[in-house]
C-alpha cells in the first residue's frame, strides 16, 4: 500500500512539475475549463437557491388556499365562506387568514403584515404588541421592549410594542414579517370585521385534495382554489423550464469544450511527445504514463472546478448573479425581494462534476492512451 | 418527464457508460478469440496495447457507475418534495413501476463493476495477463446488465410524472401491504436478527479459516452475498425500528437523513464495502492456479477478505449499537 | 549473457517504404564485459542495440537475456524486465528539460515507488561518483555536453541494472571528454557491470578496456567478437 501511495505521489509530483513547465500552454485550457464550470455552477447554484426558498415557503403552506376573485382580481373573502367550506367532507382546520403587504415609507422596505395563525411563530402578540422579523427590527433599530411605529395607509400612526424578534434561523421567510393582533390588523388596514384575506384548510388524506378542491370551487364559484401541488408545479415549471433552456444552451458549450479538450489532449507538442518517449525508454510502463496523464487531468480538473465553483459562489451570493441578470431576471417576479441564502449542496456538486469533469476525462482518455503507447525506441530514431 | 440537471447528468452518464461498455464487450469478444500471449505477431501487440485503453475506459465507467448509484439515491431523496405522498427516496422511486427495478439494477451494476475492478487490479499484478480471458468474459456478462440499468433508469425518469400520487415508506414497508418490501418488513424480528448476526458469524468463521489456510475463498464470496441479503432484510425489518425508535417505521432510506444523525452511513458504507471486498476478494484466491499469480492471488485475497471482515464487523457493531442504545424495546426482557 | 539467434528487423512491414535493417544476426554478448558494436552509419548497429536492450522487438528470431527468452514476452513484462536489467544512455542524452539534474536522475525509479529518502540518497551518491553532484539543482538544459552525459549515465544506473547500454556515447564529446567517458566505463566494468555500446569512433573500439568489438555492415555482422586490444584492464 505504501509503495502504491509513494508511486502515486511521485507521479503527481512529476505531473505538477510538467504542468508548471508548460504553464502558458496549459493556461488556455484551464481558463476555458474554469469558465465552463463557472457558468454551469452559477446557473445551478442560482436555481437551486431559488428552489430551496420556494420549498421553505411551501413547507408551511396549507394544502388548499381559497381566494375570492372579483373582476379578475384577488379580493377579500367573506367570513361566511369559512363555514361553507367547513361543511365539505374531508376539509379540516378551515381558517380565514389576514395578511397583507405594506410599503414602509420610513425606509423604503416592503413588509408582510400578518395575523399569526396557530403557534408557528410562537405566542401570538396581544393587542398593541407585535412580533417582527429580524430584518424589520434591524432596519428600524428596534429591540424587544421598545416601540415600533408604523404609519397606516390611512395616514394614522400606530404604536406597537415589540414583544419579540423572530428567530434568525428561519430568516429567509420571516425577515420581513410583522405579526400583530387581529384587531390591530383590521384597524391598520381598515378591513371590515367580517372578511379575511383568504381561507386555508387542511386535507387529511393527500389523495382527496383534488376532490375537496373541486367541491369547493363548485360550491363557491367566485373563488379560486389553489392546492399546494399547483403552487409546487408552477414553481417547478418556471424553474425547470428556464434551467432547461439554459442547460440546453450550455450543452452546446460543454460539447465545444469536450472537442477542445480532445484537441488539446491529442495535439501533443513535439516536446511532450519526446518527453513521453524518454519516459518509456528509461523504463516507464504504458500504464505508468497513462496514470501520470490521468493525474494531470485530475489536477487540471480539480483546479478548474474549485476555481470555477468558488467564483460562481461569489457571483451568485455576493453579486446576485449580476452577469446572468438579463437571462434570469424574470425570476424576480416570484419574489418582491431578492436575497439568496448561500447553499452548497452535495448532490448539486456531484451533478456539476458529472457535467464538467466526466466529459473532460472521457474526452482525454483516448488521446492519453495514444500518447502512452509511444514506442520506447522512438527516442533512438 | 421532469427536466432536472441531476436527472440529465444521470442519463448522460449512463449513456456514456453504455457506449463504452459495449465497445469494451466487443473488444472482449476479440480478446477471447484472438488472444495469444505467446505470439509475437503484430496483431497480438496491437491487441495488447488496446487492453491498456480498455482497462482505463472501463475503470472510468466503473467509477462513474459507483458515483451514479449514489447520485441516483440522493436525487430520489431530494425529489421527494415534488411528489404528493413522498417523504423520502422511497416515495420518489415508487412514483412509477421502474423506480425500484432501476435501483436494484444499479446496485447490481455497482457490485459487478467493483468485482471487475478487483479482478482487473489482480490481473495487472501478474506480468503475463493471467486473467485477461476471465476479465473480458466477465465484461461480456456485465455489459447487458449495464445496458439494462441504463434502459430502466431512462424509462423511470421519462415516465416520472409529478401528477402521480405516490406512497412512501410508511405505506410500502408495512406488514399488510404486498410485495417484497412488505415481506421484508413483515419478517419476524427475532428471525431477522438471528439471520443477520448468524450470517455475520458464519462470514467470520469462513474468513478465519481463509486467513489461516487460504481455503474457502469462493465460499467467502458466496457468504458475503448472503450477508448482504440478510443485512438488508435485517435493516428493513428490525434495525430501522430501533434507529427510528418507532415500532412501525421500516424505511431503509430515511436512515440516511440528518434527523437520524446520518446513522444510515454507519450501516451502509461498511456493509457495501464489506460485501464488495468479499465478493471480489474471496473468489480471486482461485486464480492462484495461474503461475504468475501463484503467490500474488492468495496474498491479495487474504488481505481483501480480512478487510471485508473488518468492514462487516463494523456493520454488525453499528447494528448492535443501534439496538442497544435505542429507547425502543421490541422483545420483553 | 545475451544471446541473439537469427534476428531480423523489418520496418514498416507490408508498406511501400518497407526496409530491413537487420538480416539474420546471431550474436553472443558475454556478461561482465565491454562490447562495442561498430560500423558506418546505416549499418544497423543502433537498431540492433534497441533489440538487445528490449526497446523494440525483432520481426523474427529469438533473444535470450540471462537464459530467459524475451521476444515473446508481453510488453508489460518486457518493460519490467528492461528496467531491472538495462540502463540506457542515448546519443543525444534525452534528458527532460525544465527538470533539475537530480529529478532527471530519479525519473526511472518513479514507477517503482521506493522510499523517497533512499532514492534521493542513491541519486546523490551516483552524481558524486560521476563528479557532477555540485550541479544537482541545475536544470539540465544549462549543462555542457560532458555534464549532460554524466547525468544520463547516472540516470541509467539509478535502478542499479547489471547491463548498461549506450548509443554513440562519444558522438557529442571532444577527445578529453571521450577519455573521461572511457574512465567511467572502466570503473563500471570494475564494478561488474556489463557494457554494450555502439560507436563509429575508433578511439572507443580501440580502447584497451574493450573486450569485444562487433563489426557491422548493411544489417549484417561482418566480424564478431575479436578482441582487438587484449584483455581489458579493470
CA dist., res. A166 & res. A176, Å (int): 10
Position B239 scores a pLDDT of 84
Query: What is the pLDDT, as a whole number, of residue A120?
Result: 67
Among B37, B40, B128, beta carbon nearest to C57: B40
The answer, yes or no, to whether residue B89 has pLDDT greater than 50, is: yes
Distance between CA A237 and CA A239 in Å, rounded? 5
Number of domains comprising chain C: 1
For chain C, the average pLDDT equals 88
| The pLDDT of residue A300 is above 70 | yes
Q: Which residues contact A235 (CB under 8 A, 6 or more apart)?
A: A51, A54, A58, A334
Strand partners, C34: C195
The region of weakest confidence among A119-128, A260-269, B11-20, C70-79 is A119-128
Q: Does B81 touch chain A (CB under 8 A)?
A: yes
Q: How confident is the model at residue B300 (pLDDT cuts 50, 70, 90)?
A: confident
Mutate: best of B127, B129, B131, B132, partner C, most C CBs <10 A: B127
Q: Which pLDDT belongs to residue A336?
A: 39
Q: Tell which C residues from 57 to 116 touch A, by Cβ distance under 8 Å.
A: 75-76, 79-80, 82-83, 88, 90-91, 94-99, 103, 107-108, 110-116
pLDDT of residue C207: 87
Angle, vertex CA C211, rays to CA C208 and CA C216, nearest 5: 105
Cα separation, A2 vs B154, whole angstroms: 42
Angle at Cα A239 formed by Cα A74 and Cα A250, nearest 5°? Answer: 150
Domain assignment of residue C101, given as a range: 2-226
Tell which residue, A75, A83, A76, A82, has the closest CA to residue A96: A82
Reading the block at residue A144, the C-alpha cell is 424587544
Work out whether the CA dihedral B10, B15, B19, B22 comes out positive or negative.
positive
Look up residue A39 and give its three cell numbers.
Answer: 457558468
Alpha-carbon distance of A162 to A179, in angstroms, equals 10
Residue A171 clears pLDDT 70, i.e. is over it: no
At residue A263, the pLDDT reads 85
CB A120 within 8 A of CB A131: no
Q: Are C88 and C55 in contact (CB under 8 A)?
A: yes
* Contact: B127, C72; criterion CB under 8 Å: no
C57 exposed, middle or buried (CB, 10 Å; 0-12, 13-18, 19+)? buried
Write the CA distances from A102 to A135, A154, B237, integer angstroms.
Answer: 14, 12, 54
Query: How far apart (Å, rounded) are the C-alpha atoms in residues C228 and C210?
Result: 8
Computed on alpha carbons and rounded to an integer, the radius of gyration of chain C in Å comes to 18
| Over residues A194-207, mean pLDDT | 85
Stretch A144-150: mean pLDDT: 88
Give residue A326's pLDDT band: very low, low, confident or very high (50, 70, 90): low
Dihedral sign for Cα A184, A188, A191, A192, please. Answer: positive
Cα B264 from Cα C172, distance rounded (Å): 68
Determine whether the interchain pair B71/A354 forms a contact, defined as Cβ–Cβ distance below 8 Å. Answer: yes
Residue C126 lies in a domain: yes
Q: What is the mean pLDDT of chain B?
A: 85
Give the DSSP H/E element, type plus range, for residue A357: helix A346-372
Structural domain includes residue C41: yes
Which is higher by pLDDT, A14 or B79? A14
Name subunits touching C (3+ CB pairs < 8 A).
A, B
How confident is the model at residue B142, as a pLDDT?
Answer: 93
Give the range among A187-196, B161-170, B254-263 with minimum mean pLDDT.
B161-170
Task: Assign A269 a pLDDT band (cuts: 50, 70, 90).
Answer: confident
Among the ranges given (A190-194, A213-217, B274-278, C71-75), the one the predictor scored with the smallest mean pLDDT? C71-75
Pair B169, B253: CB distance under 8 Å: yes
Taking only the tens place, the pLDDT of each residue in B12-40 is 889 989 999 999 999 999 989 888 877 76
Say if residue B178's pLDDT is above 80: no
Angle between helices B5-34 and A228-266 (to 10 degrees): 40
Radius of gyration of chain A (CA): 30
Cβ atoms B22, B10 nearer than 8 A: no
C13 touches chain B (CB under 8 A): yes
pLDDT above 90 covers a percentage of chain C that reads 44
How close B37 gets to chain C, by Cα (Å)? 7
Q: What angle do CA A29, A34, A40 make, to 5 degrees?
A: 130
pLDDT of residue B176: 62
Mean pLDDT within C125-137: 91
Inside any domain, residue C233 = no
% of chain B with per-residue pLDDT over 70 = 93
pLDDT tens for each residue of B122-150: 888 887 888 888 899 999 999 999 999 99
Least confident segment among A68-82, A221-235, B230-244, C74-88:
A221-235
| Pairwise CB contact (< 8 Å): C55 & A281 | yes
Q: Is residue C99 domain-resident?
A: yes
Residue with cell 412514483: B95
Band of the pLDDT at A343, cuts 50, 70, 90? confident
Alpha-carbon distance B39 to nearest alpha carbon in chain C (angstroms): 6
Pairing of strands C34-38, C60-65: unpaired
Helix (H) or strand (E) holding B195: helix B189-213
Nearest to C181 by CA among C204, C215, C201, C160: C204
Segments making up each domain of chain A, as ranges: 2-58+234-380, 65-226
Q: Is residue C65 part of a domain?
A: yes
Cα distance between the two ends of chain A: 38
The number of beta carbons lying within 10 Å of the beta carbon of residue B93 is 26
Nearest Cα to Cα of residue A196 among A63, A81, A368: A81
CA-closest candidate to residue C38, choices C209, C233, C212: C212
CB of A324 closer than 8 Å to CB of A316: no
Report pLDDT for B137: 92
Chain B residue with Cα closest to C78:
B127
Taking CB atoms and an 8 Å limit, are A44 and B85 in contact across chains? Answer: no
Nearest by Cα to B235 from B213, B250, B216:
B250
Distance CA A74, CA B6 (A): 37
Tell me the mean pLDDT in the region A290-296: 91
- 3-state SS, residue C212: strand
Task: State the average pLDDT over residues C124-137.
Answer: 91
Provide the pLDDT confidence category of residue C87 given band limits of 50, 70 and 90.
very high
* Helix axes of B189-213 and B217-234: crossing angle, nearest 10 degrees: 160
Give per-residue pLDDT as tens, B230-266: 999 888 888 888 888 777 777 888 888 777 878 888 8
In a domain, C234, yes or no: no
Q: How far is CA B55 from the centre of its chain?
A: 21
pLDDT (0 to 100) of residue A119? 65
Q: What pLDDT does residue C127 have? A: 93
The pLDDT value recorded for residue A1 is 64
The answer to whether residue C42 sits within a structural domain is yes
- Which of A34-48, A114-128, C188-202 bottoms out in mean pLDDT, i.e. has the lowest? A114-128
Residue with cell 499484478: B125
Query: Is pLDDT above 80 for B183?
Result: no
Per-residue 3-state assignment (H helix, E strand, C coil) for B97-136: CCHHHHHHHHHHHHHHHHHHHHHHHHHHHCCCCCCHHHHH
Q: Which of C57, C71, C77 sits opposite B127 (nearest CB)?
A: C77
Pair A62, A201: CB distance under 8 Å? yes
User: What is B247-313 written as a DSSP string?
Assistant: TT---SSGGGSGGGTTHHHHHHHHHHHHHHHHHHHTGGGGGGGSGGGTTHHHHHHHHHHHHHHHHHH
C22 and C58 in contact (C-beta within 8 Å)?
yes
Least confident residue range of A50-54, A107-111, C142-146 = A50-54
Yes or no: say if B55 and B99 are a contact pair by the CB < 8 Å rule.
no
- State how far residue C113 is from chain A, nearest Cα, in angstroms: 4
List the CATH number of the domain containing C15: 3.40.50.300
Rg of chain B taking only CA atoms, in angstroms? 22
Secondary structure letter of residue C139 according to DSSP: B
pLDDT score at B3: 67
Confirm or reject contact between C72 and chain B (CB < 8 A): yes
For residue B12, the chain A residues in CB contact (below 8 A) are 354-355
Least Cα separation, residue B112 to chain C (angstroms): 26
Q: What is the C-alpha separation between B33 and B36, in angstroms, rounded?
A: 9
Span of A59-63, A214-218, B194-198 with lowest mean pLDDT? A59-63
Phi then psi dihedrals of residue A290, to 5 deg: -60, -45
Per-residue pLDDT tens digits for A220-252: 888 888 888 777 777 766 666 677 777 777 788
Let me know if A5 is exposed, middle or buried by CB neighbors in 10 A (0-12, 13-18, 19+). Answer: exposed
B residues 40-69 closer than 8 Å to C (CB) = 40, 42, 45, 48-49
Summarize the confidence of residues A289-314 as an average pLDDT.
92
**Total residues belonging to chain A:** 381
Contact: C83, A11; criterion CB under 8 Å: no
Q: Taking the alpha carbons of A275, A281, A283, A284 in that order, is the dihedral positive or negative?
A: positive
Q: How confident is the model at residue A139 (pLDDT cuts 50, 70, 90)?
A: confident
* Cα(A25)–Cα(A18) distance, integer angstroms: 11
CB < 8 Å & 24+ apart, contacts of C123-131: C123/C154, C123/C158, C126/C154, C126/C157, C126/C158, C127/C101, C127/C102, C127/C151, C127/C154, C129/C187, C130/C154, C130/C184
Amino acid at each position: 500500500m505504501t509503495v502504491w501511495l509513494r508511486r502515486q505521489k511521485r507521479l503527481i509530483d512529476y505531473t505538477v512539475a510538467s504542468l508548471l513547465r508548460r504553464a502558458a500552454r496549459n493556461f488556455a485550457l484551464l481558463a476555458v475549463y474554469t469558465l465552463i464550470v463557472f457558468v454551469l455552477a452559477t446557473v445551478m447554484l442560482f436555481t437551486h437557491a431559488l428552489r430551496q426558498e420556494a420549498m421553505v415557503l411551501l413547507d408551511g403552506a396549507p394544502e388548499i388556499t381559497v381566494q375570492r376573485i372579483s373582476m379578475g382580481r384577488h379580493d377579500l373573502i367573506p367570513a361566511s365562506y369559512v363555514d361553507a367550506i367547513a361543511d365539505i367532507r374531508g376539509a379540516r382546520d378551515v381558517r380565514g387568514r389576514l395578511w397583507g403587504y405594506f410599503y414602509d415609507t420610513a425606509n423604503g422596505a416592503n413588509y408582510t403584515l400578518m395575523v399569526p395563525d396557530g403557534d408557528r411563530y410562537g405566542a401570538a402578540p396581544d393587542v398593541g404588541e407585535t412580533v417582527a422579523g429580524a430584518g424589520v427590527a434591524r432596519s428600524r433599530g428596534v429591540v424587544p421592549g421598545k416601540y415600533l411605529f408604523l404609519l397606516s395607509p390611512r395616514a394614522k400612526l400606530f404604536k406597537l410594542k415589540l414583544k419579540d424578534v423572530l428567530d434568525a434561523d428561519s430568516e429567509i421567510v420571516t425577515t420581513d414579517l410583522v405579526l400583530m393582533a387581529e384587531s390591530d390588523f383590521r384597524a391598520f388596514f381598515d378591513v371590515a370585521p367580517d372578511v379575511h384575506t383568504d381561507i386555508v384548510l387542511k386535507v387529511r388524506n393527500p389523495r382527496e385534495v383534488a376532490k375537496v378542491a373541486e367541491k369547493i370551487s363548485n360550491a363557491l364559484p367566485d373563488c379560486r382554489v389553489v392546492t399546494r401541488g399547483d403552487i409546487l408545479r408552477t414553481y417547478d415549471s418556471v424553474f425547470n423550464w428556464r434551467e432547461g433552456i439554459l442547460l440546453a444552451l450550455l450543452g452546446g458549450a460543454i460539447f465545444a469544450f469536450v472537442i477542445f479538450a480532445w484537441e488539446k489532449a491529442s495535439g501533443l507538442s513535439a516536446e511532450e511527445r519526446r518527453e513521453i518517449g524518454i519516459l518509456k525508454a528509461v523504463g516507464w510502463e504504458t500504464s505508468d504514463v497513462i496514470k501520470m496523464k490521468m493525474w494531470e487531468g485530475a489536477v487540471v480538473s480539480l483546479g478548474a472546478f474549485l476555481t470555477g465553483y468558488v467564483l460562481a459562489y461569489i457571483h451568485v451570493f455576493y453579486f446576485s448573479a449580476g452577469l446572468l441578470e438579463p437571462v434570469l431576471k424574470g425570476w424576480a417576479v416570484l419574489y418582491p425581494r431578492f436575497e439568496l441564502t448561500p447553499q452548497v449542496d452535495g448532490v448539486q456538486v456531484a451533478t456539476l462534476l458529472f457535467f464538467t469533469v466526466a466529459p473532460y476525462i472521457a474526452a482525454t482518455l483516448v488521446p492519453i492512451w495514444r500518447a502512452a503507447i509511444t514506442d520506447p525506441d522512438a527516442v533512438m530514431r | 418527464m421532469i427536466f432536472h440537471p441531476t436527472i440529465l447528468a444521470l442519463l448522460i452518464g449512463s449513456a456514456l457508460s453504455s457506449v463504452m461498455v459495449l465497445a469494451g464487450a466487443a473488444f472482449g469478444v476479440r480478446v477471447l478469440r484472438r488472444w495469444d500471449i505467446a505470439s509475437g505477431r503484430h496483431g497480438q501487440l496491437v491487441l495488447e496495447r488496446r487492453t491498456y485503453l480498455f482497462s482505463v475506459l472501463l475503470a472510468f465507467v466503473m467509477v462513474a457507475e459507483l458515483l451514479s448509484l449514489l447520485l441516483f439515491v440522493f436525487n430520489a431523496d431530494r425529489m421527494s418534495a415534488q411528489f404528493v405522498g413522498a417523504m423520502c427516496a422511497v416515495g420518489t422511486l415508487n412514483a412509477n413501476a421502474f423506480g425500484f427495478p432501476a435501483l436494484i439494477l444499479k446496485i447490481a451494476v455497482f457490485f459487478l463493476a467493483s468485482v471487475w475492478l478487483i479482478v482487473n487490479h489482480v490481473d495487472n499484478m501478474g506480468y503475463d495477463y493471467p486473467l485477461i480471458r476471465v476479465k473480458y468474459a466477465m465484461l461480456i456478462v456485465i455489459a447487458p446488465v449495464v445496458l439494462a440499468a441504463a434502459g430502466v433508469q431512462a424509462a423511470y425518469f421519462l415516465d416520472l410524472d409529478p401528477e402521480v400520487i405516490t406512497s412512501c415508506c410508511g405505506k410500502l414497508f408495512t406488514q399488510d401491504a404486498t410485495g417484497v418490501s412488505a415481506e421484508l418488513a413483515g419478517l419476524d424480528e427475532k428471525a431477522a436478527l438471528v439471520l443477520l448476526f448468524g450470517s455475520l458469524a458464519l462470514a467470520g468463521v469462513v474468513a478465519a479459516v481463509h486467513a489461516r489456510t487460504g481455503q474457502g475463498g469462493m465460499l467467502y464470496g458466496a457468504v458475503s452475498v448472503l450477508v448482504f441479503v440478510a443485512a438488508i432484510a435485517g435493516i428493513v425489518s428490525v434495525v430501522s425500528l430501533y434507529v427510528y425508535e418507532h415500532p412501525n417505521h421500516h424505511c431503509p432510506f430515511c436512515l440516511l437523513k440528518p434527523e437520524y444523525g446520518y446513522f444510515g452511513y454507519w450501516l451502509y458504507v461498511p456493509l457495501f464495502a464489506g460485501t464488495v471486498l468479499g465478493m471480489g476478494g474471496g473468489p480471486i484466491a482461485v486464480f492462484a492456479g495461474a503461475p504468475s499469480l501463484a503467490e500474488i492471488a492468495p496474498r491479495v485475497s487474504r488481505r481483501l477478505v480480512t478487510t471485508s471482515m473488518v468492514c462487516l464487523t463494523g456493520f454488525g457493531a453499528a447494528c448492535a449499537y443501534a439496538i442497544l442504545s435505542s429507547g425502543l424495546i421490541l422483545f420483553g426482557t | 549473457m545475451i544471446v541473439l539467434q537469427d534476428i531480423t528487423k523489418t520496418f514498416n512491414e507490408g508498406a511501400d517504404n518497407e526496409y530491413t535493417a537487420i538480416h539474420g544476426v546471431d550474436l553472443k554478448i558475454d556478461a561482465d564485459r565491454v562490447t562495442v558494436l561498430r560500423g558506418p552509419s546505416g549499418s544497423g548497429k543502433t537498431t540492433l542495440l534497441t533489440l538487445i536492450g528490449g526497446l523494440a522487438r525483432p520481426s523474427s528470431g529469438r533473444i535470450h537475456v540471462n537464459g530467459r527468452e524475451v521476444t515473446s514476452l508481453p510488453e508489460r513484462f518486457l518493460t519490467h524486465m528492461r528496467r531491472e536489467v538495462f540502463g540506457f544512455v542515448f546519443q543525444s542524452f534525452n534528458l527532460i528539460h525544465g527538470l533539475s539534474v537530480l529529478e532527471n536522475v530519479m525519473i526511472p525509479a518513479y514507477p517503482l515507488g521506493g522510499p523517497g529518502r533512499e532514492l534521493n540518497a542513491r541519486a546523490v551518491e551516483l552524481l558524486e561518483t560521476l563528479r557532477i553532484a555540485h550541479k544537482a539543482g541545475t536544470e539540465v538544459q544549462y549543462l555542457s555536453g560532458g555534464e549532460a552525459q554524466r547525468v544520463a549515465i547516472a540516470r541509467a544506473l539509478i535502478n542499479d541494472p547489471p547491463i548498461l547500454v549506450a548509443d554513440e556515447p562519444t558522438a557529442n564529446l571532444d577527445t578529453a571528454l571521450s577519455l573521461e567517458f572511457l574512465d567511467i566505463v572502466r570503473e563500471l566494468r570494475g564494478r561488474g557491470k556489463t557494457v554494450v555500446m555502439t560507436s563509429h569512433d575508433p578511439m572507443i573500439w580501440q580502447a584497451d578496456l574493450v573486450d569485444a568489438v562487433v563489426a557491422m555492415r548493411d544489417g549484417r555482422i561482418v566480424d564478431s567478437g575479436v578482441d582487438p586490444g587484449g584483455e581489458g584492464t579493470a
